[in-house]
Amino acid sequence: MREPDPILPGEAAGIARSASQRLLAFASFGLAGLLSAGLPGRAEASPGIDGTRNLSMGNATRGSSTGTDAVLINPAGLSYAQQFEIEPVYQFNLQDRTHGLGVFISDSLNSPHVALGLGYVFTRGTPRIRYDDPMGERQSLDLTHFGHEVAGALSVTAVRNWLYIAIKPKWQYVSLRYLDEDNIAIDHRPKLNAFGLDAAVALNVLGWVRFAVVGYNLAGPSRPARGDSTTADEIEGITTAEQPNINTENLRRIADYPRSLGHGLAVFPTRSMNFSINLDATYDFTSYRAEHEKWTRTTVHGGAEYVVGPVPIRVGGWWDSRGPGRADDRGYVSAGLGFIRPAALGGIGVDIGAGFAQQVAGPVQGQLDTVISFNLGIRLQPDI
């Protein structure tokens, strides 16, 4: 009989504060070390944060993301442009009530050969299970979806202006728990506490086209919160009716950290980063393999960005095939705006953005799947 620790009031906030303090110390130490060494250091891989630009363009940005956005979706993109940026990001998923808060630092300014990034993501959600109690009344049980991710990214220019190779080692922790009738914390699924690894390669063709391939969670993949069925027979530690009619559809069907492969194509018609057309696809080898031995979840993404003065206009969308058959397929549209002022030599610039993604096709679980994201980045160009 397992007896996990109860979720004490303020525990999550305390852990978040201590983790944030560790992040600041880690980031400060890392940047100090990078600067003293003369080297630079600028999801769908993270369950809590996609990145505002990435989300706004339908996560079709593997070929065009730079800086902090690249730390999230394609670490090889750190070498696409020279910039130094510190950026906090907030994201909220209305359907499963999940908050994501991230802080990212990227620097590709000091060397034409090496770029580095640091990132921390804190995730907290409160999904629900619904069931009938012994009196036949409909009840809901709130779970706590809790996670940390600390990552570093290294991108190397293998062939200048042509070929970039990157790795992203990370530590990732995710739990999904609830309190039973005796106030004991029960793990709805085993915790993930593992070191993960992403790897990427990107090719630039004369500034017109970029192609990228990224392997996510090659080490440390996680299990999904539930299987194909949205019902269950019992909830451990909770008294229910003989026929409890348990509904788990509010839980994430997709693994928090699936082992997957993504590739992206970005076309720049004017040979400028100010205008890009993007087409991506991903292949999830984890989320549905337990129930369907050979099934691979596929997503197809499209997006575009056009910068008018300091304002980037972003649109996109994607199709998510989910499991076998078409009954659970989903379609999304996305859009966003920003304000970017590059940093002058010895000065400070800004990168502000807001974006959303909205489900427009597929099954509805209580409400349509809606995600919103905001970022406030500070760009620096030290005169050294």
The average pLDDT across 180-204 equals 93
The average pLDDT across 166-174 equals 96
311 or 206: which carries more pLDDT confidence? Answer: 311
Pairing relation of β-strands 311-320 and 297-308?
antiparallel
Distance CA 230, CA 61 (A): 32
Per domain, the residue ranges of the chain are 11-380
Question: What is the per-residue pLDDT across 44-76, written as a single tens digit (0 to 9) for each?
Answer: 568 889 999 999 999 999 999 999 999 999 999
**What's the pLDDT score for residue 384?**
66
Query: For the chain, first and last CA: distance in Å?
Result: 61
Q: Does 137 score more than 50 pLDDT?
A: yes
Question: What is the per-residue pLDDT across 83-97, written as a single tens digit (0 to 9) for each?
Answer: 999 999 999 998 878
Please state, as a whole number, how many other Cβ atoms lie within 10 Å of the Cβ of residue 235: 18
Question: What is the per-residue pLDDT across 251-278, written as a single tens digit (0 to 9) for each?
Answer: 888 899 999 999 999 999 999 999 999 9
Distance CA 265, CA 277 (A): 8
Q: Does 7 score more than 80 pLDDT?
A: no
CATH, domain 11-380, list 2.30.42.10, 3.30.930.10, 2.40.160.40, 3.40.50.300: 2.40.160.40
| Banded pLDDT at 292 (limits 50, 70, 90) | confident
Quote the tokens at residue 123.
Answer: 């995730």
**What's the pLDDT score for residue 70?**
95
368 or 344: which carries more pLDDT confidence? Answer: 344
Distance CA 20, CA 153 (A): 19
357 or 35: which carries more pLDDT confidence? Answer: 357
> Dihedral of the CA atoms 281, 298, 215, 337 (nearest 10)?
50
| Banded pLDDT at 42 (limits 50, 70, 90) | very low
Q: Is 69 helix (H, G, I), strand (E, B) or coil?
A: helix
> Phi and psi (nearest 5°) for 256?
-60, -40
Please state, as a whole number, how many other Cβ atoms lie within 10 Å of the Cβ of residue 115: 35
The average pLDDT across 159-178 equals 95
Distance CA 293, CA 53 (A): 34
**Cβ–Cβ under 8 Å, residues 320 and 330:** yes
